[in-house]
Chains A and B, each alone.
Chain A
Amino acid sequence: SAVISQKPSRDICQRGTSLTIQCQVDSQVTMMFWYRQQPGQSLTLIATANQGSEATYESGFVIDKFPISRPNLTFSTLTVSNMSPEDSSIYLCSVGQVQETQYFGPGTRLLVL
């Protein structure tokens, strides 16, 4: 399976600011995804990061709040914009492999004060 790294691993941010999370994969992958996992809850898909085109967002998530870049097949970024305490969560990137299996990065723990 692919090796996935994320930066930063954690951050504490002030409300109203923005944070960009990076996801790097050690091999070229077609499918990359961004998830959110709020405390004590399961994973919710934010969007599919498409290489060379705009990301595909799930219901309840918009590009202005969560802009995503996917400049190549090994890298993607997720920005959490104009943060509020409700954005405190773990943000995970994942890559799709065979049989629709997903492998997850280590996650970025975000606390917004």
Chain B
Amino acid sequence: GQNIDQPTEMTATEGAIVQINCTYQTSGFNGLFWYQQHAGEAPTFLSYNVLDGLEEKGRFSSFLSRSKGYSYLLLKELQMKDSASYLCAVNTGGFKTIFGAGTRLFVKA
């Protein structure tokens, strides 16, 4: 079966660092996406990891371990506008993408 697990909710403080974990078990794996979705809006692309390791993009970094079926999204210097849902998604081949249920992040002052 296809399974993507991530925490339902997290709370962090403005200026802090937060790590959102994602574990997956899928029948195929081409790469792993992270998307950000603000309430009432469409998901927007954040990152795509194909190889193991850490990829940094400004305040956001994404890590992948294919052998462990594990990824995390690291958000540094949190801002209030980072309050959103973060979706972990696995590309299983071609454009076939399976989405996790998302982690709702609340950033407090």
Identify the A interface with B (CB < 8 A): 1, 31, 33, 41-45, 48, 92, 96, 99-107
Contacts and interface: CB of A to CB of B under 8 A. Distances in A.
Contacts of A104: 42-44
Contact of B101 (A41, A48, A103, A107): A41
Given A101-B33, A103-B45, A104-B44, 7 more contacts: A31-B95, A41-B101, A42-B99, A42-B100, A43-B99, A44-B99, A45-B96
B97 A100 contact: yes
B95 A92 contact: no
B42 A45 contact: no
A102 B97 contact: yes
A100 B44 contact: no
Contact of A42 (B31, B91, B102): B102
Contacts, number: 44
Nearest to B33: A101
Interface residues of B, number: 20
B87 to A, nearest CB: 6
Interface string B45-64: 10010100000000000000
B43 A43 contact: yes
Contacts of A42: 87, 99-102
Contacts of A92: 42-43
Contacts of B99: 42-44
B104 to A, nearest CB: 9
Contacts of B96: 45
B91 A100 contact: yes
Sort A-B residue pairs by CB-CB distance and give the 9 closest, nearest first: A104-B42, A42-B99, A96-B95, A43-B99, A42-B101, A100-B91, A107-B42, A31-B95, A104-B43
A86 B12 CA distance: 34
A76 to B, nearest CB: 14
A106 B102 CA distance: 18
B79 interface: no
B95 A99 contact: no
B55 to A, nearest CB: 12
